[in-house]
Amino acid sequence: MTPSNNTNNRSSERRYTLTISCPDRAGIIAAVSGFIAQHGGFIVEASYHTDQESQRFFMRQEIRADSLPFDVSEFSSRFSGVAQTFGMTWQISDSARRKRLVLLVSKQDHCLDDLLYRWRSGELQADIPCVISNHEDLRSFVEWHGIPFHYVNIPSNNEPAKVAAFAEIARLYDTACGDVMVLARFMQILPLDLCGRYAGRIINIHHSFLPSFAGARPYHQAFQRGVKLIGATCHYASAELDAGPIIEQDTVRIDHGDSVVDMVRYGRDIEKTVLARGLRYHVEDRVLICGNKTIVFK
């Protein structure tokens, strides 16, 4: 199924997005901008940041594709000399090549529903080649959107079968040529090897304002603690549970009259918006990882 009005909502201007991380020193901006200008490139958006603690420099530039006489492959070849001079970790992406999002879900559908609506309306400009779940509950909803649904049973008390199940999830992700694995309330802990294999490519939504209340039943933890704010956190999955680099967060105020049920209800709204924002930042190459932190060029 193709979103009905994707074409109408999408900008017709094709862009290349260049992101860079390197040790901070004089001349980086001049070298990069000079390289682009030398080839007639037109920069339409530019962002810069120096992390004082690590002394690393971060840059993001959007360039009009039609202003350059070559494609991203030749850009990469020609730019490699500049990158080597400054010890850059860098990448360039083409807006004409939409990122492929593989969504992982369990039984709760609010984040999935929100992402599919944004995809269907054209707000989320990405492709969704498939949805993977450890339950069958959401199959008909996903398939109504014309998206393949894969059920993978993940037994809780059989470790070899569990290992095989996550190997199958990795296989499905690779077969779908996924760029990002989105844990849209996927209520399973990923194995360490999977987190390492796809580092910086697995995005999770956790239903608390991390680092507070990591792990299971965070709303119950928050209720017992008597907090006045609850929140949600979009972050990259890492080997340590709910401790990966944070992309986006938000909160809502509560009071002594709110029950756990109320908090869960409020939280669902925050989870949807925080995941959508964080995922959009990633899809648009606005997130650069700096240790266990992120630089987000909004």
Question: Which pairs from 189-198 meet CB under 8 Å and 24+ separation?
Answer: 189/241, 190/166, 190/237, 191/163, 191/166, 192/239, 194/166, 194/169, 194/170, 195/237, 195/238, 195/239, 195/244, 196/239, 197/170, 198/173
DSSP state of 3: -
Catalytic residue among 242, 250, 262, 285: 242
Number of Cβ within a 10 Å radius of residue 80 = 12
Give yes or no: 51 in active site: no
Cα-based angle 247, 131, 129 (whole degrees, multiple of 5)? 90
Residue 295: both structure tokens together: 């630089």
Catalytically active residues, by annotation: 242
